[in-house]
Structure 1
Amino acid sequence: MPQRRSRWLPSLMLTAALPVIAYAEGPEYGPQLQGFEYPYTVKHFDFQSQGKTLQMGYMDVAANGKANGRSIVLLHGKNFCGATWDTSIKTLSDAGYRVIAPDQIGFCTSSKPDNYQYSFQQLATNTQQLLKALGIQKATLLGHSTGGMLATRYALLYPDQVEQLALVNPIGLEDWKALGVPYRTVDQWYERELKVTAKGIRDYERSTYYDGRWKPEFDRWVDMLAGLSKGPGKTQVAWNSALIYDMIFTQPVYYEFKDLKMPTLLLIGTSDTTAIGKDLAPPEVKAKIGHYPVLGKQVAKLIPQSTLVEFPGMGHAPQMEEPAKFHQALLAWLNKTDTLR
């Protein structure tokens, strides 16, 4: 399948004012992110789930150079896609890994079903079916943000199939509902998601993910999300997004970190303040949630074979913010745990 290609900006023949308006509006993408360019060829895995035929988009990138015979699966976050792993895919492929980067159902290049009962167990099962179809019996999991919750659930469901587990600023290091964050219904999430804009995404990520900082290269990922949210499948996208937010809020993995059986790495950017529903929380609750310098240390103590690596001053996505520092730490841990196996 050919690589996806971005839509070109309007002709430079337009007046000077029009390109500014076009940029402000940004691109629009199809319900499975048609029109957005991925760094590697996107394939689709067709499978049956909950009485539906669904497609899971994924990238399968072979080792570049000397292969080490191992596979690593990259699990994206809620406001991310497989494409946002671009530098990690290249780094890990160059290090000898076969790299699988799927888009989960409800996200990005994958199906957005009308009625789907979302659970981390279901998404883990979907991913396990994909890996089985690809002939992968064991793998290392690398999960970011919501993908960290999914990777944890996968490791709990299929412990014999997970060699190593690495979690990058995973959400779910605390149980927000138990801490007093008010519940937002699926309908309320849906109304909120229908109003998503590029500016809103950028402002949220700048303040919550990056401690007020921003890099121009992040704009591509803002356009990716905003273009999906306002494209021809915007109601499908918003509804699935609402269901996924409800899943994240109501299905904590926090209480089961103690049950993880494999070597686990926590990679924590300490300036992150992400907490689902924080905008609804009263001041006294808001003040005590989303403190990653504290959460990383607390959860590291819960996981039997854990290693904690902190990135002081970095935010929610250290693999995107400072790729070289992040990948140096990740590869050092992977190589160390490899020698101990």
Structure 2
Amino acid sequence: MKLPLFLCALTLAATPIAGPAFAQAPVAVNATLEGYAYPYPVSVLPVVVEAKGKRVQTRLAYMDVAPTSLANGRTVLLLHGRNFPAGYWGGTIKALTAAGYRVVAPDQINFGKSGRVDGMAVSFEVMAEHTWALLDHLKIDKADVLAHSMGNMAATRLVLAHPERVGRLAMYAPIGLQDYRPLTPPIDPEALARAESAKGAAAYRKELTASYGLASSEVIEPFVTLREQIKASQDWPFFVRTFNASAVAIRDLPVAQDIPRIPVKTLFLVGSTDRAAPGKAQATEADKAKFRTVAELAQALAPTLPDAKVQVFDGRGHLIHLEDPQAFHKAVLDFLAQ
């Protein structure tokens, strides 16, 4: 059921920064990252969601950045991953706007600077609805899409809902290329919350470095730091509850079976060492062997789409736009220009 949306934009108090995508933040950061600087100004779109049988008004935060060179009339929509706020797109936004593209980068509800709603079940269809509502509000009829990690599950629903409004789709380090339900046990939110709270910075750093196939932990330090800053706030229990709702969605709402129906020109951008596999740690030893690398899954799936190719970045992992930004941005710009 489509939810009513209050289509008015507000300016969110956030100071843009001219340097790196992540600046020094306060010791404690609340659940909606107030005071945590993004690389470009942030606005919000009020939306209404359903939670615990009630309708709740909240906000969708986003960056809308104009071209910094001669405008080419095209817009690129950036969809973030699960462990990351939209602010991590700073370098990518700079590269795209320098090439003449307008860029829109939202934080989905329960992520980044967007509102968080306790008891709201995460749905990729609803993420797609909110994103289309944002583009409608911004009077953007058509966009190219660059999605990262979990963002590709939302992108799949987004494209299939309105394929005529999507030019090209870049599926970057996608999760959701296989159905995790047969391989992993159902998620116990309370147990997951306890595990998240018990996990310190060192364990989190080690987990991401290994599962993301990173050569070093350097590129994830901003995310490790941010997580510790949120843990230092009184919002941490609330943050964990709303964050973990997306883990349930990733397992229980697969998109792999629908990806072959994507009709638009598609490019998979994957790192050769990326081993991101949601739920693998909880799988049996026999089922762990059935998980495949992201590159293997993309190469197997691409031929089933009407028009898809795979570009593998040798020696790179789950965060190519931070590990090797020059090569990544060249690949994206070349794809968009074809």
Q: Same fold (TM over 0.5)?
A: yes
Cα deviations by residue, 1:71-114 (Å, 9 ceiling, x for unpaired) = 11100001111011111110001011110111110011011112
Matched, 1:66 2:70: yes
Q: Which residue of 2 aligns with 1:13?
A: none
For 1:196-211, what aligned pairs fall within 5 Å after superposition? Answer: 196-211=199-214
- Shift in alpha-carbon separation, 1:8–1:226, aligned structure 2, 3 A: closer
Aligned equivalent of 1:163, options 167, 185, 189: 167
The Cα of 1:49 is off from its aligned counterpart by 2.3
Matched, 1:189 2:201: no
What SS does structure 1 have at the residue aligned with 2:198? coil
Structure 1 counterpart of 2:159, one-letter code: A
Matched, 1:285 2:287: yes
Q: Answer yes or no: is the 8 Å Cα contact 1:265–1:308 preserved in 2.
A: yes
Aligned length: 317
Q: Answer yes or no: is the 8 Å Cα contact 2:14–2:36 preserved in 1.
A: no
Q: Answer yes or no: is the 8 Å Cα contact 2:60–2:107 preserved in 1.
A: yes
Cα deviations by residue, 1:126-181 (Å, 9 ceiling, x for unpaired) = 11111111111111111000011111111111212111111101001111222x22
Q: Which residue of 2 aligns with 1:82?
A: 86
What SS does structure 1 have at the residue aligned with 2:257? helix
- Percent of aligned positions with the same letter in both sequences? 32
Q: Which residue of 2 aligns with 1:250?
A: 252
Aligned equivalent of 2:322, options 279, 296, 320: 320
Q: Structure 1 CA distance, aligned partners of 2:215 and 2:76?
A: 32
The Cα of 1:183 is off from its aligned counterpart by 2.0
Q: Which residue of 2 aligns with 1:16?
A: none
- Shift in alpha-carbon separation, 1:8–1:331, aligned structure 2, 3 A: closer
Cα deviations by residue, 1:173-200 (Å, 9 ceiling, x for unpaired) = 111222x222222222222233343222
Q: Which residue of 2 aligns with 1:273?
A: 275
Q: Structure 2 CA distance, aligned partners of 1:290 and 1:189?
A: 24
Matched, 1:174 2:178: yes
Matched, 1:112 2:116: yes
Q: Which residue of 2 aligns with 1:99?
A: 103
Q: Structure 2 CA distance, aligned partners of 1:60 and 1:228?
A: 26
Q: More helix by proportion, 1 or 2?
A: 1
Q: Structure 2 CA distance, aligned partners of 1:231 and 1:106?
A: 17
Q: Structure 2 CA distance, aligned partners of 1:299 and 1:284?
A: 23
What stretches of structure 1 move > 4 A for 4+ residues in a row?
A: 4-9
Q: Structure 2 CA distance, aligned partners of 1:173 and 1:114?
A: 28
Q: Which residue of 1 aligns with 2:155?
A: 151
Q: Which residue of 1 aligns with 2:60?
A: 56
Q: Which residue of 1 aligns with 2:9?
A: none
Q: Answer yes or no: is the 8 Å Cα contact 1:193–1:242 preserved in 2.
A: no
Q: Answer yes or no: is the 8 Å Cα contact 2:175–2:294 preserved in 1.
A: no
- Shift in alpha-carbon separation, 1:235–1:98, aligned structure 2, 3 A: same
What SS does structure 1 have at the residue aligned with 2:179? coil
Q: Structure 2 CA distance, aligned partners of 1:317 and 1:211?
A: 8
Q: Structure 2 CA distance, aligned partners of 1:8 and 1:110?
A: 18
Q: Answer yes or no: is the 8 Å Cα contact 1:4–1:35 preserved in 2.
A: no
Q: Answer yes or no: is the 8 Å Cα contact 2:180–2:278 preserved in 1.
A: yes
Q: Answer yes or no: is the 8 Å Cα contact 2:169–2:265 preserved in 1.
A: yes
Structure 1 counterpart of 2:143, one-letter code: A
Q: Which residue of 2 aligns with 1:46?
A: 46
Cα deviations by residue, 1:317-337 (Å, 9 ceiling, x for unpaired) = 11111000111111111100x
- Shift in alpha-carbon separation, 1:333–1:278, aligned structure 2, 3 A: same
Unaligned runs of 5+ in 1: 10-26, 337-341
Unaligned runs of 5+ in 2: 1-12, 18-22
The Cα of 1:34 is off from its aligned counterpart by 1.2
With normalisation by structure 2, the TM-score equals 0.89
Q: Structure 2 CA distance, aligned partners of 1:227 and 1:302?
A: 43
The Cα of 1:243 is off from its aligned counterpart by 1.0
Q: Answer yes or no: is the 8 Å Cα contact 2:60–2:108 preserved in 1.
A: yes
Structure with higher Rg: it is 1
Structure 2 counterpart of 1:213, one-letter code: S
Q: Which residue of 2 aligns with 1:3?
A: 15
Q: Answer yes or no: is the 8 Å Cα contact 1:84–1:221 preserved in 2.
A: no
Structure 1 counterpart of 2:333, one-letter code: L
Q: Structure 1 CA distance, aligned partners of 2:232 and 2:165?
A: 38
The Cα of 1:226 is off from its aligned counterpart by 3.0
CA RMSD, 1 decimal:
1.7
The Cα of 1:4 is off from its aligned counterpart by 6.1
